[in-house]
A and B are shown apart, each in its own frame.
Chain A
Amino acid sequence: MLERKYLAEKYAQEIQAILEKYPSDRRQSAVMPLLYLAQRDKMYVSREDILEIGEILGITSTEVASLIGFYTLYYDQPKGVYRIQVCVDLPCALRGAEKFLTELCDRLGIQPGETTPDGLIAIEPVMCLAACDKAPMFQVQSGAGLTYHENQTVENALSLIEQLRRDAAGRRVAGHERGRDANG
């Protein structure tokens, strides 16, 4: 029996809306949207989230957790607040995407697949994102969702990263205060 009902309390309405999309005897369908919901705050799905999602949907934690490994947009480990995912697939590579990735990483002083020392930005090569005519391009994945950034230059990308860092700092302050409220 699960004591903690974190998602159910925090996202009660959203969970309700998600469940309503699917026939009531097919709740398992809601597992993918719920995994996104669990990732919203911290960009990964915790063990507790897995248990709770399983309880909400009446499926086993194995059924929930096995999806995290299969689908590339779910994570079971924290890694960066923002994941910058650069498409280096064939069409983009034909338009210089690999060079873009290498240069961007060089400028940040990390290797593709690594996270910046402040733990905020992870840069990852990914497969085709359906923006082949606008390479180089990447998407930014955060708890809040995904945004596309097309026809990029390294300079553009670096200034975006600065912006993201400022956003994160803002969020941290806000989050910290919320946290204090909650604990106090």
Chain B
Amino acid sequence: MTKPVTLTINGIQVEAPPGTLIVDAAKKVGFDIPVFCYHPKMEPVGMCRECLVEIGRPVIDRATGEAVLEEDGSPKIQFGSKLELACATPVSPGMVVLGKSDNAKAGRDDILEFLLTSHPLDCPICDKGGECPLQDLTMAWGPGVSRFLYEEKQHLAKRYPLGELIMLDRERCIQCGRCVRFQDIFADDRVIGFSQRGRSLEIVSYSEPGFDSYWSGNTTDICPVGALTTMDFRFGARPWELRLAASICSQCAVGCNLALNVRREVVTGGDWVVKRVMPRQNEEVNEIWICDKGRFGHHYAEQGPKRLEQPLVRKNGELQPASWDEALDLIAERFGSAGAGLFTLAGSRLANEDLFNLDQLTRRLGGKTGLYTHMGGGKLTTQVGLTPGSNFKDLGGGGENEPPDAVLVVGCDLEEEAPVWWLLLRQAAKRGAAVIALNPRATKLDRDARFSLRYPFGSAAAAVLAMTSSLSQKPHDLPESIQDLSRNPDLKAAAKAFAEARNALVIFGSEGMGLAESAALAQACANLLLTTGHTGKPNNGLLGAWPRANEQGAWELGWEADANLLEHLSQAEALYIVAADPVNDDAAFQSAFGSDKFVVVQDLYLSQTARLADVVLPVQSWIEREGSYTSGGRRVQRFYPAIQSTTAMPPKTEAPGVRRASVLTGSVPELQGPQADFAIPSLIAERLQMDGLNHSSAAAVFAQIGETVPVFAGLTYQKLAEVHEQWPIVGRADMYYGGTLYENTQGLGVQLELARTGAPAQPQPAWSQVEDFRLPKLGLMAFPVTRLYDQGSTLMHTELLHQRIGESFVVLNGFDAARLKISHGGKARITFNTSAQSVIVQVRLDAALPERVVLVPRSFGLSIDAPTPVEVRPAG
């Protein structure tokens, strides 16, 4: 550690590490220097000039190198002739900063007045009004009257859509450039920029669609005025009407911390409504950023006409409304008689509490469980995954004589599969971490990767094997398909960098892979980590870029992906399908739903699978209830109820206190409306006279998990809710410093210890298991890929994103496109040889794809769960 620098700010002595900027150091003595262009996550640019302070420095005698002293023995301080920028000046020993002197204040007032000459006076209708740094500073010290003639004000476009997600008000823009810099530094999408100059300087976007980036929403948080607003929230509410619920994003495995802003609205009959989704600071997970899917994709969880409101029971061949009692009695009876014939299939958007109770119920009945996912290998992540104390922010260049950290990303289009991990990795790469992108095609990560390596489609595991093998004295026999790659000197260099790294991580995804292939990949990755000693310590290990928020949690709780799903579904006597819609994903599953089978589906919406069920149970969405998710980084985090699922309450006409009255009279009020996923298995258990399953609260279930599941040992909701001070300080009253995003006061979560199941994990001598995958000599092979914006059931409820999601498409390589005479944007009929599924879709070309390869995006209306031979023909 370098020695801290001591200086005085406003007469208070402070210590700060060398290199700290005055503006940050001043925070530590509680002095908020106003800034507009500076943002604590970005290098200073000195544009707005608002942060002016007086700076004095000790006078040093040139001859002696000693400080010159005043008569009273104190060091002589020399002040500069000009005010200086607190945002761009690092602290130095003995420095004296005067932030509150008349001179400094006058300087900042001057700048404020300049900013206001051009700023419109529309605070009463501005979305930022009430949480606007410019407004606050003006209130605090701004001039009461304008010396500027109103007619001479520059009038600019008030409504300039930068695309269909973000609106720009050019009059409000104060040209601080935070948005432009964010898009450059963090998003690496330079799709907005400044054009014109002088007073006409303005933000523009020329991309198609406008502001084409997965990160656009963040600019509205850090915009220090109301110039950038989201179309979702614009004119939606005033900030002071909003209440906040801490939450966790339900869209992917990163586990970004969210703040859901809610208020009660007349249009919903006084019900609570989520008005906007904001990031909540967690420096160990998402820092202060979220992707646009997380920001805009919550609408599926809202109440709406399509949500299931009450249980449905099949009568005379039709699903008909029924009471919970009726439904639960029926289920208890049928599950009870099925016993070991019960098969429970769960999706991994379910919370830990839900999965735990489902597992408990099924196990006690002697039934089987299966996790519904297209990605395998999770068991390994519980053994060689991240450990407590891990943080992407720590990844970087290492110390003086230390090798840099390394991160291998394999079989994964990271920005599409786990966006915020991509964002954090980009920063790690800038700090010097060696990012190795090992993929079958180019991805955005390549831009920041030290090594960008390609393996042939289908050979992900073999490629990692080749890396491991290159480190070994005795190289292994490698499959044919990978021979070329294994001779690539970059592969060897990458393997060496990985092996020698101070810390090393592997993130694996499911690019072009199904369950079996991704499981093999995970094993190969685990082998690499184990042979290079990169497990069992912080910032080392294996991470899965899981498709859903709590997939890691499911694996930690003992759930496993089901490799023989169709068989299990078909053989079962009773099916309990929760948060999964296999029939929609693949029509082939329909065959498993015979008439003699008792099927219960528990979901938010009447899914394709639910339509085949005997009983359908409505559940509360993640914003309506409490629970916890375990992120891909193995951090268990709580989410809180943001809105009440009103129908779950007794009918509104009843007076408050009815519940208590019924307790007094001993009668239990009838269960109404959607219930939490964890509560339902417990209610079934109750009817089966089974005890030990809890449904009173998520906290109680979680406490039980803490008692039952070893890796969760000792964890409680209280622990998950603990916070400590984070740097930078954002989200407090001085919103100009970090923007309007929220401080974390409700919990940073807890990272799990590694599972110690029996013997410690060993490299599996899995060479032989790695298939020598070859593309067919003739015909095309389709590989599934993940797109952040898909047509999946969660996202389609967000109309705002429909334009970005677009129609169903496949990506074709240039050779076959030319051969088939299909051009970019044209239509083609694609026929899956195995399932005989045949659809007409749009074709996009990627000239860099190898011959015979077709990419099929998941959740885009085409069923694909693993590489599949296909036929493509031009259509229309």
Contact = CB atoms under 8 A, between A and B. Distances in A.
A66 B184 CA distance: 14
A3 B824 contact: yes
Contacts of A61: 206-208
Contacts of B112: none
B204 A66 contact: yes
B688 to A, nearest CB: 59
Given A1-B824, A69-B204, A62 B193 contact: yes
Contacts of A65: 195, 204, 206
Contact of A69 (B190, B195, B205, B845): B195
A131 B189 CA distance: 42
B191 A69 contact: no
Interface in A55-69: 59-69
Given A62-B190, A62-B204, A1 B845 contact: yes
Nearest to B208: A61
Contacts of A60: 189-191, 206-207
Contact of A66 (B189, B193, B208, B824): B193
Given A1-B844, A64-B206, 16 more contacts: A1-B845, A1-B847, A60-B189, A60-B190, A60-B191, A60-B206, A60-B207, A62-B190, A62-B191, A62-B192, A62-B204, A65-B206, A66-B194, A66-B195, A66-B206, A70-B196
A50 B845 CA distance: 21
Interface in B169-211: 189-197, 202, 204-208
A67 B193 CA distance: 10
A65 B195 CA distance: 8
Contacts of B207: 60-62
Interface in B837-855: 844-845, 847
A3 B825 CA distance: 11
Interface of A: 1, 3, 50, 59-70
Please give me the 3 A-B residue pairs with the lowest Cβ-Cβ distance, nearest first. A69-B195, A66-B193, A66-B195
Interface in B792-847: 824, 844-845, 847
Interface of B: 189-197, 202, 204-208, 824, 844-845, 847
Main DSSP-derived SS at the A contact region: helix
A114 to B, nearest CB: 20
A67 B824 CA distance: 30
A64 B207 CA distance: 11
8 contacts: A61-B207, A62-B193, A62-B205, A62-B207, A63-B190, A68-B195, A69-B195, A70-B195
A68 B195 CA distance: 8
B185 to A, nearest CB: 15
A3 B193 CA distance: 25
B86 to A, nearest CB: 29
Contacts of A67: 195
A71 to B, nearest CB: 9
Nearest to B212: A60
B239 to A, nearest CB: 30
A3 B205 CA distance: 22
Nearest to A68: B195
B163 to A, nearest CB: 11
Nearest to A72: B197
B444 to A, nearest CB: 13
Contacts of A69: 195-197, 202, 204
A65 B205 CA distance: 9
A60 B206 CA distance: 8
Contacts of B192: 62
A44 to B, nearest CB: 15
Contacts of B191: 60, 62
A48 to B, nearest CB: 12
Contacts of B208: 61
Contacts of B824: 1, 3
Nearest to A61: B206
Nearest to B845: A1
Contact of A59 (B190, B202, B204, B845): B190
A68 B194 CA distance: 11
Contacts of B204: 62, 65-66, 69
Contacts of A68: 195
A66 B190 CA distance: 11
A66 B191 CA distance: 10
Nearest to B189: A60
A63 B845 CA distance: 25
B197 A70 contact: yes
Contacts of A3: 824
Nearest to B211: A62
A64 B193 CA distance: 10
A3 B823 CA distance: 10
Contacts of B206: 50, 60-62, 64-66
A65 B207 CA distance: 10
A126 to B, nearest CB: 15
Contacts of A50: 206
